[in-house]
Amino acid sequence: MRTTLTFNNKNYQTNLNQPIDISLAVTDVTRAWYINPPVFEPVRLGTDFIGSVAEGGSVNFRNVTFNPHAHGTHTECLGHVTKEVHSVNKIIKEHWFLAQLVTVPVQKFKDDEILTATALSEKWLPGEETALILRTSPNNPAKANQNVSNSNWPFLDAEAAKLICERGIKHLLIDQPSVDKEEDGGALLAHKAFWNIPENPRKEATITELIYIPDEVEDGLYLLNLQVAAMENDAAPSRPVIFKCKI
């Protein structure tokens, strides 16, 4: 279904019949932060009820134990790093955004791989988008199916996060478990720079982590549909879906 959308008085053409799902499901494989796999288990109420058809129950009725920051794609708000409690469920008021997908090579620095402000500036020519989707390069397909704990994944330099903030991006998406270094002593410099904490906190801004974009998906403009589970928490599972668009 071809449609026309308007952002800042400009018309963009897209096809809603060609979605590209860039989310990773909550599974027993993809995870981070030294957390065990999620647990899916049937509810058992004495000897009268079992929530498993395979075990003789009438329905499948399972408890799920997981961590939104560690298992699968998730979207978080500034409540992730502030004393004040903020819920991503209350912050997300809209679900459709003009987004730009940018592939950025990471730079080696000692034992780290860093996405720098310089590398980002070379690849990203900002336009009308309010969402930025970052695909780090190299783009190993294993990103979509692995336990990345203790891997020292590539991360955003604080200056790169500050640049994204200054260019008015409200929704940042990245194909890593975090915009920050796995072990940084609690500094969380990229998170704080993006949310402009403590100077002028951007309560409306979000970060989505642990996405995956295959190489065949081209850089460029997309319509982003960002759906976030209705949980009163600083982070919740999410499903970003993009649609190629053009003026």
Q: What are the tens digits of pLDDT across the range 17-60?
A: 999 999 999 998 889 999 999 999 999 999 899 999 999 999 99
Other CB atoms within a 10 A radius of the CB of residue 143 amount to 22
pLDDT in tens, 53-84: 999 999 999 999 999 999 999 999 999 999 99
Structure tokens at 225: 């549909």
Percent of the chain with pLDDT over 90: 87
pLDDT value for 121? 96
Q: Which comes out higher in pLDDT, residue 4 or 126?
A: 126
Q: What homologous superfamily is domain 2-30+69-246 in, according to CATH?
A: Putative cyclase (3.50.30.50)
In this prediction, residue 193 carries a pLDDT of: 98
Residue with tokens 């979509």: 144
Task: Write down the residue that tokens 């982590």 correspond to.
Answer: 209
> What distances in angstroms separate CA 63 from CA 41, 178, 230, one per listed residue?
5, 27, 17
What's the pTM?
Answer: 0.95
CA distance 162 to 158: 6
Q: Is the pLDDT of residue 182 over 90?
A: yes
Task: Tell me the domain boundaries of the chain.
Answer: 2-30+69-246, 34-67
Q: Which helix (H) or strand (E) holds 89?
A: helix 88-91
**Which candidate, 114, 212, 117, 130, places its Cα nearest to that of 169?**
130
More confidently predicted of 6 and 215: 215
Per-residue pLDDT tens over the stretch 112-143:
999 999 999 999 999 999 999 999 999 988 88
Which residues share a beta bridge with 236? 75
Following CA atoms 242, 23, 69, 126 in sequence, which dihedral angle do they give, to the nearest 10 degrees?
-30
Residues 141-161 have a mean pLDDT of 93
CA triplet 153, 130, 94: central angle to 5 degrees?
105
Nearest Cα to Cα of residue 21 among 171, 179, 212, 174: 212
Average pLDDT over every residue of 208-221: 97
